[in-house]
A = this chain, B = another copy of it.
Amino acid sequence: MFDGQFLTIADYEQHVRQQMSPALFDCEYGSHGDPAWSTYTSNRAGFHALKLRPRVLVDVSRRSLATEVLGQSISLPVVVGPTGGLGVHDPQGELPTVRAAGAAGTIMVLSGLSTCPAADVAGAATCPWLQQVWILEDRELVAWQVRNAEELGAAAIVLTVSNTGETWHSAQLRFPTTGAPDDGPASNLVELAHRAPTVRQFMGSISRASTWADVRWLRELTSLPLVIKGIQTSEDAELCVEHGVDGIVVSNHGGRFLQGARGTIEALPEITATVGERLEVYLDGGVRQGQDVLKALALGARAVWLGRAARWGTTVAGEQGVRNVLEILQRELDGSMGLCGITDVRHVPASLVTRDVVPTVEN
């Protein structure tokens, strides 16, 4: 089914938009308020405003897309980021995704609210996987998730801080019963099901009182590398360094929560300039093409994380879909490197990119 049909990530988006009910699509991918002026739009526009300065006559016959993330070798600078409850799209939940990540030689980040128990994912994983968590009101639940992940062999803990449990999202309010599994069992947390028996209850228990003290607590709780996902300012990036954090994901949660924020690629430079030498910086939000990856690397990111793109892959064709999404980005990144005279994703010079001097609105 992939011959000539799914050649770009945009093909996946288009297919999902057409197949999924508008209510479910809006609930999963919509944002609050006017989509034309959303943070999601800014994510894409930010990439577009950044232009490439390709170098030529460089031997690009051998290109290395391999890099290291938190000491883990990966075959391309694209990490499959966490997205919740994949069971709504695939009866096997997160298993097809982790298998695809393994097949592509990269890393999967398991959502703290996955459909499958972490143990199942760990069992199926042929690649490093990271456990994403929130600071919940019930810190014990977090501690259990972290320890459970450690025992199951997670390669790192990822703390998401870009959603403090706000529930005023217009799409969610508009379609309260969309078939999204909010009232389904938080099955991966079955051990502690009495504390957060449903997804809705779990999400509602994200602590609005989480602070850097929680980062200190988490830092002491585990010896695994610690990543914070959702940093958008140099000030907070500096605090990450001070708290012994190993990596940052510059992220606005795919533009789904706070509206009016910068595109992540706009926020990236102030962060890499401040802490880029002291911890690893990643980016998610609006990555849809191989050259987006290249632009993020030129601005100092070590890798990008996928949200929607990988999820669309699962929705369209399970494991095969995610593999194809990763192949598309791999092919586009590889090709863009060839056309830019870049041979190693670990050495992408800042001079590769320049700000657009004019907005390019198609006529």
Asked if residues A60 and B261 are in contact (CB atoms below 8 Å), the reply is: no
CA distance A228 to B48 in the complex (A): 28
* Cβ contacts under 8 Å, A179 to chain B: none
A28 to chain B, nearest CB (A): 17
* Cβ contacts under 8 Å, A232 to chain B: 53-54, 56
Asked if A123 is an interface residue, CB under 8 A from chain B, the answer is no
The digit string for A225-236, where 1 denotes a CB below 8 A from any CB of B, is: 000101111011
Q: Which of A38-46, A91-99, A300-308 is near enough to bind chain B?
A: A38-46
Asked if A211 is an interface residue, CB under 8 A from chain B, the answer is yes
Q: Kindly report which residue of chain B lies nearest to residue A9, judged by CB atoms.
A: B33
CA distance A3 to B61 in the complex (A): 51
Asked if residues A55 and B233 are in contact (CB atoms below 8 Å), the reply is: yes
Q: Which of A110-118, A141-149, A349-357 is near enough to bind chain B?
A: A349-357
* Cβ contacts under 8 Å, A354 to chain B: 262
Asked if A210 is an interface residue, CB under 8 A from chain B, the answer is yes
CA distance A8 to B36 in the complex (A): 15
Partner of A51, one of B42, B209, B340: B42
A226 to chain B, nearest CB (A): 13
Asked if A164 is an interface residue, CB under 8 A from chain B, the answer is yes
Q: Chain B CB within 10 Å — which of A50, A232, A354, A358 has the most? A: A358
Asked if residues A291 and B338 are in contact (CB atoms below 8 Å), the reply is: no
Asked if residues A210 and B261 are in contact (CB atoms below 8 Å), the reply is: no
A180 to chain B, nearest CB (A): 15
Asked if A10 is an interface residue, CB under 8 A from chain B, the answer is yes
Asked if residues B359 and A359 are in contact (CB atoms below 8 Å), the reply is: yes
Interface residues of A (CB under 8 A from B): 4, 7-8, 10, 32-37, 41-42, 44-61, 161-168, 170, 173-176, 207-212, 214-215, 228, 230-233, 235-236, 239, 252, 257-263, 266-267, 289, 291-292, 294-295, 331-332, 334-336, 338-340, 351, 354-363
CB-defined A-B contacts under 8 Å, sample of 6: A10-B34, A37-B363, A52-B262, A57-B236, A263-B360, A356-B358
